[in-house]
Amino acid sequence: MNKIQKANLYIFSLFISSLYFPSFITGISSKETDTWFSFSGSFKPELFYGKNINLLNDNNPADRIFYFRHTLDFKLNASYGREKYGHDIIYARFAPRNRAIWGNPKSYFQTTDATIKSLEVVYGPHRHFNPRLFFWVREAWIDLDCNEILDLHTLSRHNFTIGAFKFQLGRGIALGDAYAVGHEVLGFYTDSAVDQYAFGAKLSGDIFEDRLTYDLYSAILENKSSSLADTAERILGQEYGCRKSPERGFGKINFVLAGRLNWTAVNIPNYCTVTFEPYWLFNDQPEQQVEFLGDASSTLGTLGIASEYECERFDFGFEYAINLGKQRVKGWDRNSTEKENRNSFETIVNSNVLYLNKNDNNDPLNNEKFPYVPSSDAQALIETSPQNEQQNGKEIGTVTFENKQITLVNSEDRFRDPYTNKYEGWMFVTDAAWWNQDKDLNIAATFGFASGDNNPNEVTKDGVYSGFIGLQEIYSGKNKRVKSAFILGSSGKLKRPLAFPISRQTRGRFARTISGFTNLIFTGGAIYWQPNKLEGKLIFHPNMIFYWQDMPTKAFDIDTNQETTYYSSKFLGTEFSIFFDYYLKPPLRLYFVGAVFIPGTHFSDIRGKPISAIQARAIADRLKRLDRQDITGFLSERIPNLGDDTAISFNLGIEYKF
């Protein structure tokens, strides 16, 4: 065994031992092999409680959450070259994580959605879970100094990074790092929500040293070309012209390309710094889902600029971005196989092909879905019929079925012609903070605007989508300025319903809900206090933010179970939040995050609006009861739908860093 192998074995043994005795090791170095190693981590047990955080309704006593959870992180860093080159020319990190809700095995390890096919019928998605605590890789990357490794004789520095690592543009609104965000409950703020970073590569370096640098980034978000099972999966049989070639095919890879410049325009040490970050991104998503898997594709582009101004007692920043690109929705035959209960027998039928059923006197009865009979003349006629919207509701032909001549008819919405949605969203956010003379107290203010629009896929025609689209975004505000713990708080975000569908185009009866940085206007202020007398042990950060919609939606009448002809108020409500940190010892932090959300007139105007079938049935039952004789006159039955009551949430925890 040579010296390098012995050193590596020694480092590995120290890492394993540090898992059991982390307080005895923070780092080691070896001049002989010119390597450096460090180990660190954190353990964070915390408590969560929330009331009315989903539906803002006091009449729904089930809308309460209480649980304990822990997050355990490790970081193993290794580098090479410090002695010989004066700096690290190879730097690597490996960071596993474990997180779980105590007493809930389903929170430990969940699979992604999967479907089952039986007798030509595909059943809806389902998940499994493993009730064991697992560690997974949150970060795993290596950074290389190209100048030294490739022996490049240039004055500018260039580095290449590859693996799973953190990267975002600006404040992380246009492109964030939330590749795999942990399953969170609405209304809870967490500052480490990202459970895994995207796998990609980055080339970065200097254009003008200490003035202008660049980053070129690429990442694979989803790869459906990694195996024959992926490329040969038969998902496109309903696309126009693909009945005989339904395979997914090669090249279905969702990837993102991005670039930015980091320009330090002014740098006066200990007084003033002004930076600008112009950026761009391109995201190609060849397999989106409007109604069916793979029935649309998207090319999204974003151009933006972010800036920060920091002087002795005043900070200011802003970011602006616009969306470009389009979504291409494919021409699609909605007819598929499904199961029905007919006279207590399970029958496979064509979902969008009907036949005229007649009684013994040849009088027409109700149209019924035609049974699916593989390789039959009737099925061959169905599968070779013309594909376009003009055929909706039209006769397909006549066949013999059960010794009778019957006429097959397309349903009124069997076919959907192709169309395109053009992206034209935009966003702007700014904030500022003023510090006192002692630099331990600041007063901050913020304003943000993200354009909004309704679901563009409710009608079959070319259109424009004006809502801003962020990629992997979990923006919650600028640290030490104004932060949100409820509406924008990490992955816990209040659902905001859009308008009811105006047609059956999207095969849904209920309004789509949004929760990200889109269709949103806000302004607010905050105080950040870290008293010098306590040597930085205490941080007190209260915030108040007001929210509005950009695009208005129709009000809702609970007595008729319909949207009204007039628009609801745009005022969403007011959020009060407090971030409190206290360092008991330098590595031990006690923290509390509390939030109160007071709904505005918007939620009063849409009170009772259902966003699921269960909620719709609750309103229908209420309307039936209103028709009955009731001598009490009491009409305030509990409706488990969207309300306008105050919501509260908090989490309390301890974090130990080692």
Report for 129-143, 252-266, 360-374, 512-526: range of highest mean pLDDT: 252-266
525 shares its domain with 412: no
Domain with 629 in it: 445-461+479-657
The position carrying tokens 């932060």 is: 483
The share of the chain scoring above pLDDT 70, in percent, equals 81
Residue 117 pLDDT greater than 70, yes or no:
no
Question: Across the chain, what does the average pLDDT equal?
Answer: 84
Q: Over range 623-645, report the average pLDDT.
A: 58
389 shares its domain with 490: no
641 shares its domain with 522: yes
Residue 556 pLDDT greater than 50, yes or no:
yes
Domain assignment present for 567? yes
Higher pLDDT among residues 629 and 93, named by residue: 93
452 shares its domain with 403: no
Contacts 24+ apart (CB under 8 A), 390-394: 391/415
Cα separations (Å) of 26 from 18, 79, 420, 437, 445? 9, 14, 56, 37, 40
Q: Over range 72-96, report the average pLDDT.
A: 93
Q: How confident is the model at residue 47 (pLDDT cuts 50, 70, 90)?
A: very high
Domain end among 416, 435, 469: 416
Q: d(Cα 286, Cα 328) in Å, to the nearest integer?
A: 9
Residue 126 pLDDT greater than 80, yes or no:
no
**Among 18-32, 168-182, 199-213, 370-384, the least confident range:** 18-32
* Six-digit token string for 61: 């006593």
Residue 625 pLDDT greater than 60, yes or no:
no
The upper half-sphere exposure of residue 178, i.e. CA atoms within 13 Å in the direction of its Cβ, equals 25
Q: Over range 594-616, report the average pLDDT.
A: 84
- Give the single-character DSSP code of 147: H
Q: How confident is the model at residue 450 (pLDDT cuts 50, 70, 90)?
A: very high
531 shares its domain with 595: yes
587 shares its domain with 547: yes
pLDDT of residue 344: 78
Residue 519 pLDDT greater than 60, yes or no:
yes
Report for 104-108, 375-379, 578-582: range of highest mean pLDDT: 578-582
How many structural domains is the chain composed of?
2
582 shares its domain with 497: yes
The upper half-sphere exposure of residue 582, i.e. CA atoms within 13 Å in the direction of its Cβ, equals 7
Domain assignment present for 617? yes
Residue 1 pLDDT greater than 60, yes or no:
no
Q: Over range 476-494, report the average pLDDT.
A: 79
Q: Over range 11-28, report the average pLDDT.
A: 47
349 shares its domain with 455: no
pLDDT of residue 465: 92
Are 612 and 60 in contact by the 8 Å Cβ rule? The answer is: no
- Give the single-character DSSP code of 568: P
Domain assignment present for 257? no
| Terminal CA-CA length for the chain | 33
Domain assignment present for 619? yes
Residue 626 pLDDT greater than 50, yes or no:
no
Q: d(Cα 205, Cα 214) in Å, to the nearest integer?
A: 6
β-pairing verdict for 404-410 and 395-401: antiparallel
The share of the chain scoring above pLDDT 90, in percent, equals 53
Among 422, 546, 429, 434, residue whose Cα is nearest residue 172: 429
* Six-digit token string for 523: 């302004």
Q: What is the pLDDT of residues 165-184, one digit of tens each?
A: 999 999 999 999 888 765 44
Domain assignment present for 364? yes
Are 409 and 378 in contact by the 8 Å Cβ rule? The answer is: no
Residue 302 pLDDT greater than 50, yes or no:
yes
Domain assignment present for 604? yes
376 shares its domain with 512: no
Domain assignment present for 251? no
- E-strand stretches of 515-570: 520-529, 538-548, 554-557, 562-567
493 shares its domain with 598: yes
528 shares its domain with 606: yes
Q: d(Cα 21, Cα 8) in Å, to the nearest integer?
A: 19
pLDDT of residue 25: 45
488 shares its domain with 585: yes
Q: What is the pLDDT of residues 337-382, one digit of tens each?
A: 888 888 878 889 999 999 876 555 555 455 788 999 888 889 999 9
Backbone phi, then psi, for 224, in 5-degree steps? -110, 30
Higher pLDDT among residues 190 and 77, named by residue: 77
Residue 329 pLDDT greater than 90, yes or no:
yes
Domain assignment present for 535? yes
Q: How confident is the model at residue 631 (pLDDT cuts 50, 70, 90)?
A: very low
